[in-house]
Every structure is written in structure tokens, then in C-alpha cells.
Chain A
Amino acid sequence: MIYIPETIKSAFSALALNKVRTFLTMLGVIIGVFSVVALVAVVQGFQNYITDQFSALGSNLILVTPKVGEGQDPSRSFMGNKLSLKNVDTINLYLGDKVSAVTPSIRIAKTAEYKTKTYASTVVGGNYQSYSVYGLETEYGSYYTKFDDSKKANVVFISADVKEELFGERNPVGEEIKIENVSFEILGVAKPKGGTFDDRIFMPDTTLKQAFNVDVLSSIAVKIKENQDIDELMHEIKLALLKDIKADDFSVVTQKDILSSIDQILGVLASALAAVAGISLLVGGIGIMNIMLVSVTERTQEIGLRKALGATSKNIGRQFLTEAIVISVGGGMVGLFLGYLSTLAVKSFLRATIPWWAIALAMSFSIIVGVVFGTYPALSASKKDPIEALRFE
């Protein structure tokens, strides 16, 4: 009686005789599974990243963003951006009693320098209320004030990672950093908050406009007071802003809306990528079938011998099927491992994780590929006539 562990052992021995060929056969499945796992992990990483960003902001936040309608050029959010500081004043004017803080938000990527050290950061311009809107907490010093806003003071409030990179463990309050050769005094340092919040440099929007000649608002962030109906307030903000700009020029959204549309986009992206990975697995499976058929022909005499020595057709079929499954599952495991390595490679900038269902999916696909594409060669092997097979040269 030939048992399953022995069949698997025999399969390994047979495959080990042609290591290069076995590896090349596995390659299709390796690439397929690696693609599935790496892509799912990266998409998951993006989702984590975005969720982190929004959860760090809190749930009582309404964002006014430039509108990019369906079929419109996405660059419109930058090029045709009609948002201005006037809109901030309008919101304050009409809804001041219902909102606790309103800030314009201007974001630009800049490198900060301190002596010989540099740090690639996102500089965020906002008014003094942005501290409350972004839910920041202070580790050292303080945030800039309304006065700093109005006098366009060259002051900054830096996040945890910026401080860590440029100053180490030291309290940097009072030190000066340079951004594009403009000096800024550090007023305070934020407590770590997680996600990209920790690589930001906050400064008054008035300062940012003057120092870097940027006049485009990325968004307007509105923090609503407790017990306010968020949907009703969104409607009121829309009505207020319509006094300044056209309905086509802005969107009023909550984090939930943004997360949902991003999820939708990532979902479509993931499906498209999964289809590509699926094709890769299909090609891998055809490769396995091809090589297994070659193997059956090459080992015809061995099949005859095994039958002469007592193997049944079922034994022979099972042996070849096991070899196909070992190739595909082996490929799947290698692909999974490489996928895991890819998550480590992007770990520094993306919290990519492999969900359990992706592992289960990848391994199930590997087994299915092995079974589906190994069955025909296995049947072909099992049906060999022992006498003909023994005579085969």
C-alpha cells in the first residue's frame, strides 16, 4: 500500500532529478501568486494609510475640496481650483456658531534642513485653528498664534518624525530650520500621531503663501461642534459657499465619503490587478501541464516498470498528480514568501499587510492549478499499457 506521505516523498525525489526544469515550471505559479499577494498587500497598505490619515483627524470633520466631476480632468483640482481664503471667511461668517474651527489647508512637498541634516517633508499651511482641526497635541513648546498668522511670521510647528530626524532626542524649540533657504523658527513639536501626520511641518498659511509663492488651497477643513448634525451642516456649508463660488467648483465631503470613494477606486484597481494575476496563474498552469506531459513521455518505461512491480493505474495517476500539485503548491509558497518580502521592502513608507484571505486565496489557487492542470498528464500516465511502456525507449 502506497501512502500519501510516501507519494509526496516520491514526488519530491522525482522533481529533484530535474531541479532547473522544476524551478522553471514553478516560475509561472511563483509570479502569479507573488503578483496576487504583493498587489493585495500594497492595495491594503494604501487602504491602511488612508484610513490612518482620516482616523487621525477625527470623525467630526467636514472637508471642502475643489470639485473633480465625472469625466473631468483630475488636474482641475489643482489648475482650476477656485477655493480661496474668502471661502474660509464665508464659513466663519454664516456658520461660526456651529463650527468650532475652520482652517484653509495648503500642502506642498519641501525639504527641511538643519545644519547638515535634511528631511523630505510635507509643509502644511493653515491658520492657528488648524491645531484643533487636525487634533494635534504638543510635546514641546507651543503652536503658532493668530498673531503669527496675521504678521506672516516665519515660525513652524514640527511633527515627531521631523524632530527625530533633524534633532534626535533633543528639544528643538527655538532652533531654526531652513526650507528653500528661508529660515523658520521652531515654536513647538507635536506628539507622535501616526501615519503621515508625523512627517509634517505646520506653518501659518499666510507665511507659506509669502515664502513659497503658493496661492492654491488644497482644501478647507471644518471641525464641527459636538451634537451638530453633520449632514445638515454639510448642506449649510454648501449654501454658504454658493454665495462665493459656483456649485461646479467645490465639493463638501466627510471623511466617510472620501474613504468610500477611495475604497471604490482601490476595489476596481484590485480587481483589475487580480485579473492580470489570474492570467499569470493560468499561464503557469499550462506550463505545468506541458512539462508534466513531457515528463510522462520521458518516464514511460518507469511507468511500465512500476506497473510490473505492482503499481495500479491509480497509484501511477496519483504519483503524477502529486508531482503537479507539489510544483504548483511549492510555487505558491515561494510566491507567498516573495510577496511577504515585498511588504517588508515597502514597510518604511507603506504599512502593507497580507490579509489572511489573500494567503488562503493564493494557496487555494495554487492547489487548484496543480489539480486542474495535473489531472490530464496523470490520467495519460495511468492509462499506459505496461507492456508497451516497458518496451518504450
Chain B
Amino acid sequence: MTPVLQAQNVSKIYDMGTSKIEALKGVNIGINKGEFVAIVGKSGSGKSTLMHILGLLDTPTEGEIILNGVNTKGMSEKQLAAVRNSEIGFVFQTFNLLQRTTVLDNVILPLKYSDVPSTEWVRKAKEMIELVGLQDRLKNKSNELSGGQKQRVAIARAMINDPSIILADEPTGNLDSKTGDEIVNNFLRLNSRGKTIILVTHDNDLAQIAQRRIVLKDGSIVE
């Protein structure tokens, strides 16, 4: 099976002027379609850097990211933005919703940068909001929601363009354990429908739900 996402010999070096920090050292990863993978590591292990590179928000100093068989190296800013929009759904620890903006408008946001005609936006967004069970909160502003509800809105937003991969960065980090479990269940449901999920976390217990764990230490894969 061809991996949906591959990191080939990826290194990232931050030039701090007088010193250089090697955040990732020759990382090789292959993630198959429909897999649920957890990238685990302690603070400073390089997992956030890896997430940014896998999510095409950052470029590696060396190595390549291949998404759906396409090498992203050398892509322009515009091309990378288009790939992020259509192929990657982000879920952040701090939800990152537009404040004082409705649930519907938050979920619609990625569609504004897509080729989907504007006449389709509301219908598609409502479908996604229903999928996360917030159909009665459509018109609520994001600041009127609980933490769990906010994260469900973020998941609906991540799913709106039907991306190849959902990239979740500590998605339960700001939630209590019960709400965190609900969010985890949301990811499991999505995965059971065939969605590829990459969960980045420092929480070993949370990582247990994944089919596969990739453990990072000092910028290298150790497990």
C-alpha cells in the first residue's frame, strides 16, 4: 500500500545566530490511508516541529514530504496553501476558533480558500456540524461554547474539505478528562469511517488509542 503521507529523511535545523538547534534528525515516517497514528514525545522532543512539517506549515531543512504520492518540495507558498486547504485538517490544542463568530462561520472558514462554490458552503458546513452533534448551536458565537464544544467545532472545520489527513495537536490538552474522552471518541469515529488521523501528544495514555505510536526523542524516532 502507498502511504498517504511520507516523511523521507527529514531534518530541521534552527539557526539561532551563534548556535544551531537540530530539532529533527533524519526522520522517516510512512502513514497509510485510514491509519490512526500517534506521535508521542516529551516537551522538546521535536514533535511540534514534525507536526508543522507534516502539516506543510513549515519546510524541512533537509528531506522531503510526500503527500498522496506528490513531493511537496519546491512547491510555492500558493501551492502549499492549496494543499493544506484540501488535504490536511488541523485540530489545535487551543481550538483556534474565530472569537465572537458563529459556529457556522467558523466551520465555513476553510471553504473560503477552496474551490467549493459559495452556494455550497452552508450546506456542507451544516453537514459537518451535524456530524459532531452541534446542529442546535449553529448560530452560537464560539465564545458562548464549552471547551468540548469548541473542539468539536474545530473537528467539523478540519473535516469540511474532506481532507486526506486530520492532524491533531494535543486536542484534549485543554479539556477535562470526560470531555477529552468525548473528543477522542470523535476521532475514533472519523477513523472508523476511513479517515487518516495523526495525533500529536505528550500523553502516553492518550496515544494508546492509536493503532500505531511513533515515539520521538531529541529529534529522532526511537520507537
Contacts and interface: CB of A to CB of B under 8 A. Distances in A.
Contacts of B187: none
B96 A390 contact: yes
Interface of B: 52, 55, 57-58, 77-78, 81-82, 84-86, 90, 92, 96, 98, 100-101, 105, 109-110, 112-115, 118, 157, 161
B57 A1 contact: no
B77 A313 contact: yes
B114 A311 contact: no
A312 B84 contact: no
Contacts of A304: 96
22 contacts: A1-B113, A2-B112, A13-B101, A13-B105, A17-B100, A304-B96, A305-B98, A305-B109, A308-B84, A308-B96, A309-B85, A309-B110, A310-B81, A310-B82, A310-B84, A310-B86, A311-B81, A312-B77, A312-B78, A387-B58, A390-B92, A390-B96
B97 to A, nearest CB: 8
Contacts of A305: 96, 98, 109
Secondary structure call for the B interface:
helix
Given A13-B101, A17-B100, A308 B55 contact: yes
Given A309-B85, A387-B58, A301 B96 contact: yes
A309 B90 contact: yes
B109 A309 contact: yes
B157 to A, nearest CB: 8
A6 B52 contact: no
Given A1-B114, A302-B98, A390-B92, A308 B78 contact: no
Nearest to B116: A1
A3 interface: yes
Interface string A7-20: 00010010001000
A82 interface: no
A386 interface: yes
Contact of B118 (A3, A311, A386, A390): A3
Nearest to B88: A308
Interface in A302-357: 302, 304-315
Contacts of B78: 312, 314
B81 A312 contact: yes
A215 B81 CA distance: 87
Q: How large is the interface on A (under 10, 10 to 19, 20 to 34, 35 or more residues)?
A: 20 to 34
B129 to A, nearest CB: 16
A311 to B, nearest CB: 5
B164 to A, nearest CB: 14
Contacts of B101: 13
Interface in A351-393: 386-387, 390
Given A307-B81, A312-B77, A312-B81, 18 more contacts: A2-B113, A6-B112, A10-B112, A301-B96, A306-B109, A308-B57, A309-B85, A309-B113, A310-B82, A310-B84, A310-B86, A310-B114, A311-B113, A312-B78, A314-B78, A315-B113, A386-B57, A390-B57
A274 to B, nearest CB: 41
B38 to A, nearest CB: 21
A3 B119 CA distance: 13
Nearest to A16: B100
A307 B86 CA distance: 13
A17 B57 CA distance: 28
B57 A387 contact: yes
Nearest to A301: B96
A21 to B, nearest CB: 13
A330 to B, nearest CB: 20
Contacts of B77: 312-313
